[in-house]
Amino acid sequence: MQAEIISVGTELLLGEIVDTNAAWLAQQLSPLGVDLYWVSTVGDNQGRLAQVLRRALDRSGLVIVTGGLGPTEDDVTREAIAEALGEEMVVQPELAEHLRCFFAQRGYTMPERNLKQATLIASARALDNPVGTAPGWWVEHQDHILVTMPGVPFEMERMWRDQALPRLRARLGGEIIVTRTFKTVGIGESRAEELVSHLIHSFNPSLATYAKRDGVHLRVAAKAATEAQARAMIADLEARVREVIGPYIYGVDDETLESALGQLFRERGLTLATMESCTGGLLASTITDAPGSSAYFRGGMVAYAIAAKEQWGVDPAIIKEYGVVSPQVAAAMATAARREVGADVGLGITGVAGPDPLDGQPPGTLYLGLDIQGQVDTFSGFYGSERRQVKRVAVLYALGFLRRKLLELEGTVPVDGRLSK
């Protein structure tokens, strides 16, 4: 079944609020095996909305509309549906009674203009709204289903789960889709796509790559009659994906890089300390985004001034000889971080966040130092140019580097780009 979402509201077109309903509903549709092809936003304008509705009912088996069900003159979703289908809105006594009770329970008399919330057209059935005044509409029209719900997210979500979804499941029967997302770090999108290119053209299960803020994601989706069948198809493709790209995968679905790292530290009983300069605290902040990080993260230093680096144990002679933006200083920061707070692992970052060059080096220059119980490594790179992006990418690379080196000690990750097990 092909689906389409229509979000109604002039405030959306003015950018005053971001449409989160469409994304929420989209996530609901994909596991049902419903293909969402179109999402549109329309203002509170009856003519334009009726036009969009007509096109939607023409091309999509399932049309979901949110918003515009309020009591004011601006709210014209019901009117537009009636116009598009050529039907009349008629007040339903039982809905009107329900509405009056809703107000009475809260100590108010229902304003007469709310009465339009108690209307239906002939092809519509009401969807109860226990948490607001606007009932939804379930409309069936020439084999097409039109679901209309309020725009307020918690009202819409509840109406969807309790009423629209069960009706829809009953109608669909048939196939479901299961997806699984593998998150990687330390590999670019082009390279990732290259490695899995022999798997990427299969249609079901399908595989696609996405460059995200937390690394490249590979998403596997399978469509089958039962969830168990879909999961088996995914497991099969997952095994083939892991064969070529496994060591780069740090997590699945909702897992984050920082929580995956936290797991590595907890399993090994290691503790961590950081000393960062160009990332200005974002490294420590990202590490501590993981709940429970206090179990292994001892502390971090944001050594912004050179004096602070020296205060915390970086040898002034190294800064003098190699410059503050250098692999040698990154390594010295890693060792100093370990020693300052007594941790097993120290991670150091020095670089140039920008916008101005520092010490003769351009924004985006990055050096990482890592000291794992006395074994010191460095990594250098050049990423981005906008200050916040430089910080963000530097942290991603630092955590990826840390993960790789921890696993390398056990021979389970790629060394110098080659895969080895």
Cα angle: 187, vertex 192, 195; to 5 degrees: 125
Of 57, 222, 224, 284, the one binding its own copies (CB under 8 A) is 284
Of 107, 173, 269, 374, the one binding its own copies (CB under 8 A) is 107
Euclidean distance between CA atoms 266 and 263, whole angstroms: 5
- Please name which of 211, 166, 203 lies closest in space to residue 184, comparing C-alpha atoms: 211
Residues 339-398 that bind its own copies (CB under 8 A): 340-342, 353-356, 381-389, 391
Nearer to its own copies, 375 or 385 (CB): 385
DSSP 188-243: -HHHHHHHTTTTTT-TTTEEEEEEETTEEEEEEEEEESSHHHHHHHHHHHHHHHHH
In the bound complex, what is the minimum distance in angstroms from residue 323's beta carbon to its own copies? 15
Of 113, 161, 171, 320, the one binding its own copies (CB under 8 A) is 113
For residue 122, CA distances in Å to 65, 81, 127 come to: 18, 12, 14
Euclidean distance between CA atoms 118 and 96, whole angstroms: 5
Of 60, 66, 163, 279, the one binding its own copies (CB under 8 A) is 279
Collapsed DSSP state (helix, strand, coil) of residue 296: coil
Alpha helices in 68-195 (DSSP H): 77-85, 93-105, 153-159, 165-172, 189-195
In the bound complex, what is the minimum distance in angstroms from residue 27's beta carbon to its own copies? 3
Tell whether residue 142 is a contact of its own copies (CB under 8 A): no
Residues 229-258 that bind its own copies (CB under 8 A): none
Residues 44-63 that bind its own copies (CB under 8 A): 45, 48, 52
Q: DSSP secondary-structure letter at 165? A: H
Of 78, 180, 183, 298, the one binding its own copies (CB under 8 A) is 298
Collapsed DSSP state (helix, strand, coil) of residue 247: helix
Tell whether residue 280 is a contact of its own copies (CB under 8 A): yes
Residues 14-33 that bind its own copies (CB under 8 A): 14-20, 22-30
Nearer to its own copies, 124 or 398 (CB): 398
Alpha helices in 86-134 (DSSP H): 93-105
Euclidean distance between CA atoms 326 and 115, whole angstroms: 71
Nearer to its own copies, 124 or 277 (CB): 277
In the bound complex, what is the minimum distance in angstroms from residue 243's beta carbon to its own copies? 21
Nearer to its own copies, 43 or 61 (CB): 43
Of 85, 127, 233, 283, the one binding its own copies (CB under 8 A) is 283
Residues 152-211 that bind its own copies (CB under 8 A): 154, 158, 179, 189-190, 193, 208-211
- Please name which of 137, 141, 125, 158 lies closest in space to residue 64, comparing C-alpha atoms: 137
Tell whether residue 222 is a contact of its own copies (CB under 8 A): no
CB contact set of 166 (below 8 Å; sequence gap of 6+): none
Query: Of 91-99, 138-146, 307-315, 327-335, which part binds its own copies (CB under 8 A)?
Result: 307-315
* Residue found under tokens 């990202």: 286
Query: Of 82-90, 101-109, 163-171, 405-413, which part binds its own copies (CB under 8 A)?
Result: 101-109
